[in-house]
Amino acid sequence: MSATTPDTLRVAAVQLTATGDKAANIATASRLVERAAEAGAQLVVLPEKWNLIDVERRQVAGAEPLNGPSLSTARDWTRAHRIALVAGSISESVPGSGRAYNTSVLIQPDGNVTAVYRKLHLFDVEVGGHTYRESDGALPGADVVVGEYLSHRIGMTVCYDLRFPELFRALTVAGAQILTVPAAFTATTGKAHWEPLLRARAIENQAFVIAAGQTGTHATGTDSHGHSMIIDPWGAILAEATDEETVIVADLDFAGLRQIRQDLPVLAHRRADIFGGASA
């Protein structure tokens, strides 16, 4: 990091219950983002599909372009509060396809979008008595994306991506110090897997993880786990929500991150000659 890069960054994760009412969801997100800003957060992360969770037909119908009303409103929040925002994810319209991307964007305090990530891994599974077929209404992305804010590198993922450690390692090799996980993790899998997977991604990549989750019951009849978390590079949980609508806040210590990577140089010891890519 450069001499001008701040060694501490206050971050927040927003947790909410998105419904089929887009206007109401945006109003809720607006209120919670404001709460995060009032708590001093400089970087705020929203959950997956923060603006709309509905049955497939209405979810696809509610998809928007990147310059649509949801992200335009999110850009207004960043300018009003002078914060950076990982705008969770929205369904991004793909004209003529009948499907949408599950897309996360990084917005700077001036309202500019500087990174766009489209979810790579689609959630086609059967758990908790529900069959999920995300690919019926969504298209997979094709790129690993690292954004930047205040010279801190931010690796972008969405929900089910959490189960693919190779993505997180690729982000780390590309320089990520912060890994963001907007999610709507199911209540069934969340009880068993959410915390251990998040902590593992933080520990193995010696990076901060900001995981902003949905909570409660959605219009789809499915339940999300909640328990949003902010985790440090040692795997310690700095902040955790329960299962209510809330905001959690923590300070990220980048001097501590550098010390961990120096004292336990796992990333430097990575066998790039075997696994490809550069050592982090």
Could you give the 3-state DSSP secondary structure of residue 161?
helix
- Tell me, yes or no, whether 40 lies in a domain: yes
Active-site residue, selected from the candidate residues 22, 49, 134, 159: 159
pTM to 2 decimals? Answer: 0.96
Q: Domain range spanning residue 197?
A: 8-273
Count of domains in the chain? Answer: 1
Three-state DSSP state, 190:
helix
Q: Do the domain assignments include residue 278? A: no
pLDDT in 10s for each residue of the chain, 280 residues: 444 578 999 999 999 999 999 999 999 999 999 999 999 999 999 999 999 999 999 999 999 999 999 999 999 999 999 999 999 999 999 999 999 999 999 999 999 999 999 999 999 999 988 899 999 999 999 999 999 999 999 999 999 999 999 999 999 999 999 999 999 999 999 999 999 999 999 999 999 999 999 999 999 999 999 999 999 999 999 999 999 999 999 999 999 999 999 999 999 999 999 988 776 6
Report the CATH number that the domain containing residue 106 is assigned in CATH.
3.60.110.10
What does the pLDDT read at residue 276?
83
Cα first-last separation, the chain: 14
Specify the pLDDT at position 280.
Answer: 65
- Catalytic: which of 48, 64, 92, 134? 48
Instruction: Determine, yes or no, domain membership for 280.
Output: no
Does the annotation mark 159 as catalytic? Answer: yes
49 is catalytic: no
Residue 177 is assigned to a structural domain of this protein: yes
Is residue 244 flagged as an active site residue?
no
1 in any annotated domain: no
Catalytic residue among 22, 92, 119, 134: 119
